[in-house]
């Protein structure tokens, strides 16, 4: 942990930008997953009205889009949450180092 603090102390501005970038990436993943889940629910509702079987993944519902990046299960959400937490932690450490 000490090596991280010393590295942040050398370049607090770069660490702050990196922390905010990682935080934003995690937030975008989580929001993208929420919107994708809503789109999948909407697609399944339309399919249920026509008595077709429901779709279980985004790749089935939207084959024309690259959906491999959108978290769908517990592992994907855990990775996105870890990105958010890491970005927040890095940002806090960089702000403390910048005040010194």
Cα dihedral 88, 89, 92, 94, rounded to 10, equals -110
pLDDT higher than threshold 90 for residue 14: yes
**pLDDT (tens digit per residue) in 33-80:** 999 999 999 999 999 999 999 999 999 988 998 888 889 889 999 999
Per-residue pLDDT, averaged over 10-16, amounts to: 92
- CA–CA distances in Å: residue 93 to residues 2, 15, 79, 88: 12, 8, 21, 9
**pLDDT (tens digit per residue) in 18-30:** 999 999 999 999 9
List the domain boundaries for the chain: 2-99
Instruction: Please report the pLDDT score of residue 65 as a whole number.
Output: 87
CA 39 distance to own-chain centroid: 18
Cβ atoms of 1 and 42 within 8 Å: the answer is no
Instruction: Please report the pLDDT score of residue 1 as a whole number.
Output: 78
């Amino acid at each position: 942990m000490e090596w991280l603090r010393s590295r942040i102390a050398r370049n607090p501005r770069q660490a702050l930008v990196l922390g905010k970038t990682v935080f934003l990436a995690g937030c975008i993943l989580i929001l993208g997953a929420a919107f994708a889940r809503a789109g999948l629910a909407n697609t399944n509702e339309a399919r249920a009205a026509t008595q077709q079987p429901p779709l279980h993944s985004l790749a089935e519902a939207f084959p024309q889009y690259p959906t491999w990046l959108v978290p769908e299960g517990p592992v994907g959400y855990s990775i996105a949450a870890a990105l958010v937490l890491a970005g927040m932690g890095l940002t806090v450490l960089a702000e403390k180092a910048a005040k010194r």
